[in-house]
Amino acid sequence: MAHIDCDIQPAVTYSWDRINSYTVPGGYVVFDDATEASCLGATEVVERELIQKKGLCSEQIYPHYVFRYPPLT
């Protein structure tokens, strides 16, 4: 499990890029602040990198975005 607790876009992008290749199939990635109105940069990263590019659906959205990544095949 990776828990990304960053508020701004560059920090979330950096964190996502760093853990991306280390996650095991079926592992969880939690984005702590991506649902907060004051953290739109975090939301943009989640929407662009996980939802649009990877086509993932979140398993939970409140209080945090939770994704299983990479998804089990």
Does some domain include residue 73?
Answer: no
Give the pairing of strands 65-68 and 28-31. antiparallel
Does some domain include residue 27?
Answer: yes
54 touches 7 (CB < 8 A): no
pLDDT at 72: 80
Query: pLDDT (tens digit, 9 = 90+) per residue, 39-50?
Result: 999 999 999 999
Domain with 37 in it: 2-68
Does some domain include residue 35?
Answer: yes
Q: Model-level pTM? A: 0.88
Which helix or strand (DSSP H or E) is residue 44 part of?
A: helix 40-45
pLDDT at 71: 83
Low-confidence ranges of the chain (pLDDT < 70): 73
